[in-house]
Amino acid sequence: MSLRVYNTLSGNKELFEPRVPGKVGMYVCGVTVYDYCHIGHARANIVFDIVYRYLKYSDYDVTYVRNYTDVDDKIINRANERGITSQQLSEEFIQAFDEDMARLGLDLPTVQPKATEHIDHIIALVERLIANGKAYASDGDVYFAVESFDSYLKLSKRNLDEMQAGARIAPGEKKRNPMDFALWKAAKPGEPSWESPWGKGRPGWHIECSAMGMEYLGESFDIHGGGKDLVFPHHENEIAQSEAATGQPFVKYWLHNGFVNVNQEKMSKSLGNFFTIRDILKTYDPEVVRFFILSAHYRSPIDFSDQNLKEARLGLSRFYEGLQAAAEVLAECPPSDVEATDGAELTAKFREAMDDDFNTAQAIGYLFEGIRTMNRLMATKKFRKKADLVASVRSLYDTFLELGKVLGMFGSEPKAWLNQQRLSALADLDITVEEIDALIAERLQARQDKDFARSDAIRDELAEKGILLLDGAGGTDWKIR
Ligand SMILES: [Zn+2]
């Protein structure tokens, strides 16, 4: 099967055929660097990290561009509030963003350009639009004339006449038509500004992405991604100004990820349900956050809640428990010549899911099946003496590690990882590690004394608190239910 992707532009899943066979150019809108990133940013960046990784895994040569918007009203306002320059503020939050993405385990894009380093390209693009009659200068500002671009709103499928009727020109805007948007803004006192043919000023937001996308990927490229909230106006305006300048289709496939709700409500600062990545990583392991996000299809909304994060932790723990058990068993079983196809079969299913518009939810479902198969094989009587079964487990185990890399998961040392999760989860329960250890020791003594009533009572008492005892050859261990 070949990769198919849902293209917002056509509203359909389409066969993915990059413009140049074997090569992919992909641009994803980065953050406006004026504050710490929240769970919505985490989702968008993890989703496109997976797209990037899966394309590389599928042997494409990918150029991935993700920008920083480092000049913007929000940056200027926040910097003024804090009495620092826009540049100081944006540098602080570029660093914070990089740290957050590294902690979430994201692969670095090929290029991470800053808008302020591309002012010349932006000015050249604006000049080209004016020369084409698609934009006009007005008292130091430059606006794009939306009525000059016939297919305006083709991405969002909105109606220009209806929007026009409801739109108003804001005070201070010097445009002809309420739907026209700024390509260049004349400098106001105290704002960062650059020399231009229209006087000192700074770029509008939309034009930055067109200029940087074209600079690194050419006038037409394969994939442009971002959150659903960017479809209008940002991506719509990117299309208009790029295609009006070049006369060519700007992007072949437009990919958009769904929203993150918090406890089934829209996330917003005013509702107080706003979580930064830093807050979340104080409680949850980065891989748990990844697992939570990838457990849903990227276009579906997801609901961020403690309960859902806890379930993700439990789900990912099942994988690590299986991997730990397999690693221990395989270390004791010498390699044999027996070949097994289990891993190849699992890989085929995984690819089928991912080829269907990056369906990570389905792919993880198949991986769960694989873990269950592996556990069942290892529980077979005299398993270690059955070379074919050992070969099957080895083949599955190796496949988990390989496919885990595509999802950015399963890369930790299982025992240490599980121990850490157990301690995190214990924080929610009404019991400490010391109390559990003391009860296990007391139970051991009770069993030696043949006081089975007491031994059972201890097991029940722990079970009631959510602790499950695991009796093994090396003694009694425990896990959280
Ligand atoms: Zn953008």
Ligand 1: centre distance to CA 275 (Å): 23
Is it the case that residue 271 has pLDDT exceeding 80?
Answer: no
Q: How far apart are CA 274 and CA 262, in angstroms?
A: 8
Q: What is the pLDDT of residues 199-251, one digit of tens each?
A: 999 999 999 999 999 999 999 999 999 999 999 999 999 999 999 999 999 99
Q: Report pLDDT for 334.
A: 86
DSSP state of 23: E
Mean per-residue pLDDT, 47-55? 98
Cβ contacts of 443-446, under 8 Å, gap ≥ 24 = 443/469, 443/476, 444/476
Ligand 1: centre distance to CA 156 (Å): 15
Token representation of residue 293: 């996000």
Q: What is the pLDDT of residues 375-393, one digit of tens each?
A: 999 999 999 999 999 999 9
Ligand 1: centre distance to CA 27 (Å): 8
Range with the lowest mean pLDDT among 41-50, 161-170, 205-214, 395-404?
A: 161-170
Q: How far apart are CA 114 and CA 245, in angstroms?
A: 22
Q: How far apart are CA 444 and CA 129, in angstroms?
A: 81
Is it the case that residue 165 has pLDDT exceeding 90?
Answer: no
Ligand 1: centre distance to CA 56 (Å): 23
Ligand 1: centre distance to CA 9 (Å): 16
Ligand 1: centre distance to CA 284 (Å): 30
Q: Which residues are documented as binding site?
A: 29, 209, 234, 238, 269
**Which one, of 312, 362, 272, 51, lies nearest residue 303 by Cα?**
312
Is it the case that residue 1 has pLDDT exceeding 70?
Answer: no
Domains identified in the chain and CATH numbers: 20-266 (3.40.50.620), 311-414 (1.20.120), 429-480 (no CATH)
Q: What would the DSSP string read from start to end of 160-203?
A: HHHHHHH--PPTT---SSTT-EEEEEEPPTTS--B--TTSSEEE
Ligand 1: centre distance to CA 323 (Å): 40
Q: Report pLDDT for 335.
A: 85
Is it the case that residue 272 has pLDDT exceeding 80?
Answer: no
Q: Which residues are documented as binding site for ATP?
A: 269
Is it the case that residue 269 has pLDDT exceeding 80?
Answer: no
**Pairing outcome for strands 4-7 and 12-15:** antiparallel
Q: How far apart are CA 68 and CA 390, in angstroms?
A: 49
Is it the case that residue 448 has pLDDT exceeding 90?
Answer: yes
Ligand 1: centre distance to CA 69 (Å): 8
Q: How far apart are CA 118 and CA 210, in angstroms?
A: 11
Ligand 1: centre distance to CA 98 (Å): 18
The mean of the pLDDT values for the chain is 95
Token representation of residue 425: 């989860």
Q: What is the pLDDT of residues 297-346, one digit of tens each?
A: 999 999 999 999 999 999 999 999 999 999 999 999 988 899 999 999 99
Range with the lowest mean pLDDT among 129-138, 151-160, 263-272, 439-448?
A: 263-272
Other residues' Cβ atoms within 10 Å of the Cβ of residue 61: 12
Q: Which residues are documented as binding site for Zn(2+)?
A: 29, 209, 234, 238
| Exposure letters 124-142 (e unless 16+ CB within 10 A, then b) | ebbbebbeeebbbbbebbb
**Which one, of 120, 165, 134, lies nearest residue 237 by Cα?**
134
Burial class (CB in 10 A: 0-12, 13-18, 19+), 323: buried
Q: Report pLDDT for 336.
A: 87
Q: Report pLDDT for 424.
A: 87
Ligand 1: centre distance to CA 208 (Å): 7
Ligand 1: centre distance to CA 29 (Å): 4
Q: Report pLDDT for 20.
A: 97
Ligand 1: centre distance to CA 111 (Å): 14
Range with the lowest mean pLDDT among 37-41, 176-180, 261-265, 354-358?
A: 261-265
